Amino acid sequence: MSKRGILLVEDNPQDEMLILRGLRKINLANQIDVARDGQQALDYLFGEGEFATGAAVELPTVVLLDIALPRLSGLEVLTRLRADPRTRLLPVVILTSSDEERDRIRSYEGGANSFVRKPLDFAEFAETVANLGIYWLATNEPPPER
C-alpha cells in the first residue's frame, strides 16, 4: 500500500479538526496535508506559490475537497484538476455541508469521484470520515502514476 496520503481542502477550522480526528482514529500511516483555500490547494498540487521547490510533485492518493472555499471554490479547483493531464485522474471526493442538488450535479459533471455530505452529528461525521479514509487509502485501487 502506498504511503501517499490525503490532501484535505477545508476552510472551516472546526470541520478540519473533526475530519483529522476521524482520519487519525483509523490509524492509517498515511500523511494528511491541509490546504485552507482553493488557490492554496492548487499551489500544493502543482508545486507552485508557497509550495514551489522545483522538485517533482508527489500527488496525494485522494483529495477531500469542500465546495465553499475562499479565493477559488471547490468546483473551480475541480475544473482545474480535471483540465490538467497531471491531475486528470487524481481521485477527488467532494466533502461538503451542501445539500443542494445542483452542487452534487455540478460536482459529478466536473469529474468528482464521489460526493459526500458532512453529517451534522459528531459521531456520524467521524464515522463517515473514517470510512472515507479506509476506502480511499486501503481499499480503492488508485490510477497508475504517470
pLDDT of residue 146: 56
Residue 74 pLDDT exceeds 90? yes
Dist. CA 145–CA 114, nearest whole Å: 20
Order of all β-strands in the sheet with 62-65:
32-35, 6-9, 62-65, 92-96, 114-117
Residue 63 pLDDT exceeds 90? yes
pTM value is 0.90
Residue-range domain boundaries for the chain = 1-6+37-59+71-89, 91-140
